[in-house]
Amino acid sequence: MIERNHARYRLILISILVVISILFVFYFHYVLYLGTVFTHFFYIPIILASLWWGRRGIAVAVILASALVAANLHLTRYIATPEDYIRAGMFIVISIVVSMLSERADSARERMTHFNLVLRSIRDINHLTIKEKDQDRLIKGICEKMVKNRSYFFAWIALIDEHDRMVTSAEAGLKERFQPMADMLKNGSLPLCVQRSAYKRGVVITRDPHIECAGCPLSVQFPDQGRMTIGLYPGGKLRGMLNVSMPERLIFDREEQSLFEEIAADIEYALGGLALRDEHEVTL
């Protein structure tokens, strides 16, 4: 709600500044009959729009540049010079430069924020793996930690047997929407991302799940976001998988992938410890 209000206020402010800028053009050209315009003021809405809206803010520069050029062309008492048109072109150039820098800064800020959220999830997961001794509660708690901290849009873990049939599963962020995937895994049918993780150790990237995962029950969930999948190999054998949804622009970040691998390693270690404990209890 707050962000929506901020966006509305920004739009109103930019609109007012654009109107004032156009009034400047009208006043100087058609009232004072001067070719000179107080164009320094134009840079205020141009720079603000580029900072707030990125490339979309270039439209403001185009509007003001067009207004200035159109006014120059219709002047009868003043002959426009090349400098007048260069000035209009500079509006657009400045807007492009500022918007690119703004988007780069926003991307770096988003990356750092998400990085810190994942680190917080790893810390919470480490605490959970130390305390929790029940397998089902463990994987459920891990999924919840990953989504609760806003690290990922959703997360699910499925553990399978040697016949690729699901033994148990847990999710967070999907609720009843995960049921079709659970049914699919119970029948021994593995989704494409899981099949790829079975043949390739490490993180499997899915950039466009709506296209790459056609037929998967979860392909329509957050279709505009990326996926990361990794196999879980406690004891060196594939016994499960971890899948998360996250911003598509971050899935190719190597540090993000390393943190995801670290989460998987913690899960493998915890599952391996539970398996050893169960074996020890059986022998006793």
Range of the domain at 77: 2-108
**Phi, psi (deg, nearest 5) at residue 227:** -130, 145
Inside any domain, residue 79: yes
Tally of domains within the chain: 2
Model pLDDT for residues 10-44, shown as the tens digit of each residue: 999 999 999 998 888 777 766 766 656 667 888 99
Among 108, 143, 177, residue at a domain's last position: 108
Quick check: 157 and 139 in contact, CB under 8 A? yes
Q: What is the pTM of this model?
A: 0.71
pLDDT band at 46 (very low <50, low <70, confident <90, very high): very high
Task: Calculate the alpha carbon distances from 227 to 134, 203, 224, 247 in Å.
Answer: 28, 10, 10, 8
Do both 97 and 139 map to the same domain? no
Calculate mean pLDDT across residues 71-84.
Answer: 67
Determine the Cα–Cα distance for residues 181 and 156; give it in Å rounded to an integer: 10
Write the DSSP string, 259-276: HHHHHHHHHHHHHHHHHH
Q: Taking residues 225-230, report their average pLDDT.
A: 89
Residues 95 and 138 placed together within one structural domain of the fold: no
pLDDT class of 238 with cuts at 50, 70, 90: confident
* DSSP per-residue string spanning 152-202: -SEEEEEEE-TTS-EEEEEEES-GGGGHHHHHHHHTTPPPHHHHHHHHS-S
pLDDT category at 283 given cuts 50, 70, 90 is: low
* Sole residue written with tokens 């049939």: 165
CATH number at residue 177: 3.30.450.40
End-to-end Cα separation, the chain, in angstroms? 59
The answer to whether residue 114 is domain-embedded is no
Dmax of the chain from CA atoms? 103
